[in-house]
Structure 1
Amino acid sequence: MNLISFMGAIELGLIYGLIALAVFLSFRILDFPDLTIDGSFPLGAAVCATMIVSGYNPLLATVIAFLAGGMSGVVTAFLNLRFKILNLLASILTMIALYSINLRIMGRPNVAIITEETILTPFEGQGLPGYYLKPIIAAVIVFVVALIVARFLNSDYGLAMRSTGANQKMARAQGIDTNKTTYIGMALSNALVGLAGALFAQMNGFADITIGTGTIVIGLAALIAGEAIFSTRGMLMAVLACIFGSIVYRIAIGLALNADSIGLEPSDLNLVTALLVTIALVLPGAKNPLKKLMKRGN
C-alpha cells in the first residue's frame, strides 16, 4: 500500500466512522436494529451533490443533507411506533423507499461534482496535496461531531435515551417519554449517516445511487473492530472507539486488497466485510449488537 492509498483509507475510515457511530446509537444505545442506513447514506450524498450542482453553498448543502438523513430516521421510527411495524421491517421499508427517492432527487443514477465548489475549495491551493487535505478536514469534522455526540449522551437527555434502549418499561416508569427519545435517537443516528454521505460525495466528486449497498454491514464491522481493539469504558471512549475502529478496518481492508499474495480485488470488498461480521457473530464472547437480535429470533 502506497502513501496515497494509505491516506485514502484513513479518509474513508473517518467518513465511515460516522456510520459506525450511527450504528452505535441505533443498535447499542436504542436497541433498535436499523437498516435505514443503506438508504440514508446515498440520500445525504444525493441531496448534497444535487444542491451543489444547482448552485447552492456547499456548507448549506451539507447541513441540508444532515437534516434529510435525520428525516429518514424519523420515518422509520414513525412506522415502528405509530403503526407497530417491527423495527427491522420498518427500517427495510424506509430503505427501499429511499432508493426511488434518491433517484428522484438526482434525476439520474449519479451526479458528478468534481468540477464544482465544495467545502474543500477554500483550503485548496494552499500547497497541501489533496491526499493530505481531505483526511485532515474529515478528521476535524468527524472528531468535533464525535465529541458533541459523546457530550449529548452524557447529558440528562442522553441518559434518558440510554435508559430507553436498556429497559423501556423501567424508563417509562421513571417518567421518560420513550417514544420521543426513540424519535430523537433515530433522527440523530441517520442524520450522522446523511452527513457521512455528504462528505463522501464532496471528497470523491460524485454521488451515486449504489454507494449505500452494504453500508450497514461496513458500519457493523467498524463498530465490532472498535469495541474489540479499543477500550469502551466511558461514553467518550465508546464513541471514539467507533471512529478509530472504522479507520483500522479501512486500513486492514486496504492492506488486504493491495496484497498480491492474497489475490483479492476491489470487487471483493463486500465479501471480506461479510466474512468479518460473520466471524464476529460466531466467535464466543465477541461483542456484537446483532447477537441480541439473533437470540430474540430464536
Structure 2
Amino acid sequence: MIVSTIAQGLLWAILGLGIFLTFRILNFPDLTTEGSFPLGGAVCVTAITSGISPLIATFLGVIAGMLAGLITGLLFTKGKIPIILSGILVMSALNSVMLFVMKSPNLSLLNHHKIFNYLDSLNLPPNFDKIFMSLIVVGIVILGIILFLTTHLGQAYIATGDNEDMAKSLGIKTDKMKILGLTISNGIIALSGALIAQSEGYADINKGIGVIVIGLASIILGELLFGELTLFERLLAIVVGSILYQLLILVVIKLKLDTTYLKVYSSAILAVCLMIPQFKLKMFQKKEMF
C-alpha cells in the first residue's frame, strides 16, 4: 500500500511542478489546471485506444495541455480578461472538448498497453514499474525546468513574475512571458494527467475537479518542511511534499474515515499548511515583545 502511495505521489508531483511555474514564479493561480489535467488524460487514453503507442499518446496529451494554456494566456494578455476568469472559461470549455475527443464521459484502457508496460522486461515487483517510470519523468521535468529558468528567456520569465514594471522597463515582453509560462505549465500538468490516467487505467472528464488543491498542497508542504532553498532543492521539495500529501491521505483512509468527503480532508490539510507560517510568525512576534 505504501509503495503504491509513493508511486502516486511521484505522479502527482509532476502536477505540482507544473503549477509551480505559474503559482510561485508568475504569482497567480491558474484554474486552467482543472481542465488541462483531465484533458491530458482524455487525449492520451483516446489515442492509445485508437492504436497509437503509449509514448506518442502521452506526447499528444502534453500538446493538448499546452494548447489549453496558450488559449488561457491569449485571453489573459490579449483579451484583457482577468487570469482567474480566463482559466475558468477555458476549464469550462475543455469539458466539451473532452466529450468530443472521448465520445463519452469516461474511457477505459482495459486490455491496452500503457507507458509503464515498457518496463515489463525488467520484471519489477508490483507498482515499482510506476515508481521507476515516474522517477525518470520527474527527473526530466525538473532538469527541463532548471535548464529553461537558467536561460536568458527563463530569466526574463522570472523577472516578469518578480516585478512586471521593472521587466517592461528592461525591454522584456511580459505578455509573451505570461503566455509562455501558461503554455509550458499546462503542458506539464497535462503530462501528469496522461500518466495518472494510464496508471489508473481510465480517463474521466471529472478527474480534474480539485486537482489544483493537490498541486498546491505539494508546493506548500515542501516549502513548509524545508524553508529557504535553491531552485533545484525547491523542485525536489515539491516532489517530497507530493509524496507526503499522498501519505497523509493514506492515513485518512486507514483511519476508516468516510472517503466520500476526501476532498474536504484534502482542502483541510492544505488550509492547515497555509496557516502554519502565519502561526509561526505570530509566535515569533510575541517572543520578541517579551
TM-score, normalised via structure 1 length: 0.90
Question: Counterpart amino acid of 1:240?
Answer: L
Q: In 2, Cα distance between the equivalents of 1:118 and 1:100? A: 25
TM-aligned CA deviation for residue 45 of structure 1: 0.2
Contact kept? 1:231, 1:237, Cα under 8 Å: no
Q: In 2, Cα distance between the equivalents of 1:125 and 1:266? A: 36
Contact kept? 2:220, 2:274, Cα under 8 Å: no
Q: In 2, Cα distance between the equivalents of 1:133 and 1:123? A: 6
Tell me the secondary structure at the aligned position of residue 207 of structure 1. Answer: strand
Tell me the secondary structure at the aligned position of residue 51 of structure 2. Answer: coil
**Percent identity between the aligned chains?**
38
TM-score, normalised via structure 2 length: 0.92
Question: Counterpart amino acid of 2:152?
Answer: D
Which runs of structure 2 are paired with 1:226-241 in the superposition (5 Å)? 226-241=222-237
Contact kept? 1:40, 1:98, Cα under 8 Å: yes
Q: In 1, Cα distance between the equivalents of 2:93 and 2:118? A: 36
- Which runs of no fewer than 5 residues in structure 1 stay unpaired? 288-298
TM-aligned CA deviation for residue 54 of structure 1: 0.3
Tell me the equivalent position of 2:91.
95
Tell me the equivalent position of 1:48.
44
Which of 250, 253, 257 is 2:249 aligned to?
A: 253
Q: In 1, Cα distance between the equivalents of 2:150 and 2:228? A: 14
Tell me the equivalent position of 1:225.
221
Tell me the equivalent position of 1:206.
202
Q: In 2, Cα distance between the equivalents of 1:126 and 1:284? A: 44
Which runs of structure 2 are paired with 1:1-298 in the superposition (5 Å)? 5-259=1-255, 263-285=256-278
TM-aligned CA deviation for residue 83 of structure 1: 1.1
Structure number with the higher helix fraction is 2
Change (3 A) 1:103 1:232: farther
- Which runs of no fewer than 5 residues in structure 2 stay unpaired? 281-290
Aligned residue pairs total 280
TM-aligned CA deviation for residue 74 of structure 1: 0.8
Deviations 1:57-116 (A, max 9, x none): 111111111111111111111111111111111101111111111111110011111311
Q: In 1, Cα distance between the equivalents of 2:71 and 2:110? A: 32
TM-aligned CA deviation for residue 198 of structure 1: 0.8
Contact kept? 1:38, 1:216, Cα under 8 Å: yes
Change (3 A) 1:52 1:151: same
Change (3 A) 1:284 1:59: closer
Deviating above 6 A after TM superposition, structure 1's stretches of 4 or more consecutive aligned residues are none
